[in-house]
Structure 1
Amino acid sequence: MGAYQRPLNLPTIQKARSKTWSWKFINSTDSTATIDTSNIQNPEKIFSKPGTYTVSLTVTGPGGSDIVTKTNYISVSNSLLSQDIGNVRLEGSASFTNGTYTLQGSGADIWNTSDSFRFAYQQLDGDCTIVARVASITNTNSWAKAGVMIRESLNANSKHAMVVATSGNGMAFQYRSKTGGSSYHTAGAAVKAPYWVKLTRSGNYFYAYQSQDGVTWTQIGSRIAVQMATSVYVGLAVTSHNNSVLNTANFNNVSVK
């Protein structure tokens, strides 16, 4: 995740009757990262990966082109907070190294009327989408879960929606539409990690998706309605479904927009 939004205010390039703007955002600390671009005059950029970014702007008009480059202009850090939710017997953890988030969590389950798990998150307002590749999950129980979640609060009985990979029961779209209410389940593909998951909030509706390659996506079930507050908690979740042991799950290609 490490999502970070910042208005870009490089020095204005003065050129009469300028017509086009070409921005490049280059992750100086990750040579394999995609070079993002924009053709908007004054863009706001959401950075989905931590790192140090070089930013360049080319302005082209009738008189030719000018370019300005700011090397290592923006630093984006891993901004996820992490904590155990609900009644967990063992303290969990979260770390980020070389593009991979590693979460460890115990907990009986994320299910019924109350949850117990490890959550790494950031707080966002309004519509959003979180994507991740669940690279691995320990088989502490066939119903151990790891995936992406949008949650109204950090209380154990909070409304939420999530898309998860389980250790032995395939992919799943699960949610609680009322605080302290029952949980609901829609089965996805009968596969195991590594697998991609995506969750989108649009107003009071949530959409769940799964993918083998992160390119072609299949929706799990239908959209579901969950009325949440404007500000929600968006992130990664893991539960061992066995409160006496820790489950270790690895996530990569995590992004939020």
Structure 2
Amino acid sequence: MAIPSSSADRAALSGGRNDEFRYLYQNAGSGFQEIIVRMSYFDGSVNAWSKVGPMLRSSTASNSAYYMLRATHGNNISAQWRNNTGNNSSSVSGPPYNVPVYMRITKSGNTVTSSFGYNGSNWTELDSRSMNNLGSNFLVGVAVGSHTAGDYAEGRFEIVSIR
């Protein structure tokens, strides 16, 4: 599955209060445990801060609470979140990564944990935190942002598992 984007994610996905990105999602449902994606290709070469990865989100509102495990084109894998609607987002940076890479977000109660790996069974945890404001009807999916309006980024995913 290929997901293209030419949206400016300069706000929330880059630390601000409002988001612009392409998001392929579904309702998580009450039994949600995890999303695992295998990113096999990422073309975001026009901007080192273009990004792609799995995301949990309270709604489609541009300033909603969210949690994303993101791989940037010219930088590292990292976790980014906005715990309260309307707030700025925060992030924690991780190490460089290689493609293909497996990316996973798990949720147990209000605790969200992100990890990555290269074989789909051995995981390196990047971040774990309480996300109290995702709500019970949150969304789960994959997001792609090019960082600059009009620039192109594309993420390709061979495996998307939501359970």
Same fold (TM over 0.5): yes
Aligned twin of 1:182:
88
Report the CA distance between 1:178 and its aligned residue. 0.7
Note the C-alpha offset of 1:150: 0.6
Once the two structures are aligned, what percentage of the paired residues are identical? 31
Which secondary structure state, in structure 1, belongs to the residue aligned with residue 138 of structure 2?
strand
- Contact persistence 2:111–2:128 (CA under 8 A): no
Quick check: 1:143 aligned with 2:49? yes
Query: Which residue of structure 1 lines up, in the alignment, with residue 124 of structure 2?
Result: 218
Q: Does structure 1 conserve the Cα–Cα contact (< 8 Å) formed by 2:58 and 2:133? A: no
Give the Cα separation in 2 of the matches to 1:221 and 1:120: 23
Using the TM superposition, give the Cα deviation of residue 125 of structure 1 relative to its aligned residue in structure 2, in angstroms: 2.2
User: Is 1:131 aligned to 2:53, yes or no?
Assistant: no
Question: 5+ residue gaps in structure 1?
Answer: 1-100
The structure with the largest strand share of the pair is 1
The amino acid of 1:105's aligned partner reads S
What is the TM-score when the length of structure 2 is the normalising length?
Answer: 0.90
How large is the RMSD of aligned CA atoms in angstroms?
1.3
Determine which structure has greater relative contact order: mean sequence separation of CA pairs < 8 Å that are 6+ residues apart, divided by chain length: 2
Aligned counterpart, 2:5: 105
Deviation at 1:165? 1.1
* SS at structure 1 position matched to 2:4: strand
* One-letter code aligned to 1:132: V
What is the CA–CA distance in structure 2 between the aligned matches of 1:188 and 1:212, rounded to whole Å? 15
Q: How many residues align?
A: 157
| Largest Rg, 1 or 2 | 1
Amino acid across the alignment from 2:7: G
Residue 121 of structure 1 is matched in structure 2 by 25
Conserved? CA contact 1:165–1:192, under 8 Å:
no
Report the Cα distance in structure 2 between the residues aligned to 1:192 and 1:167, rounded to whole angstroms.
Answer: 11
Gaps of 5+ in 2: none
* Residue 66 of structure 2: aligned partner: 160
With normalisation by structure 1, the TM-score equals 0.58
3-state secondary structure, aligned to 1:113: coil
Contact 1:148 1:236 in 2 (8 A): yes
CA distance, structure 2, for counterparts of residue 145 and residue 120 of structure 1: 14
Residue 212 of structure 1 and its aligned partner are, at CA, apart by 1.7
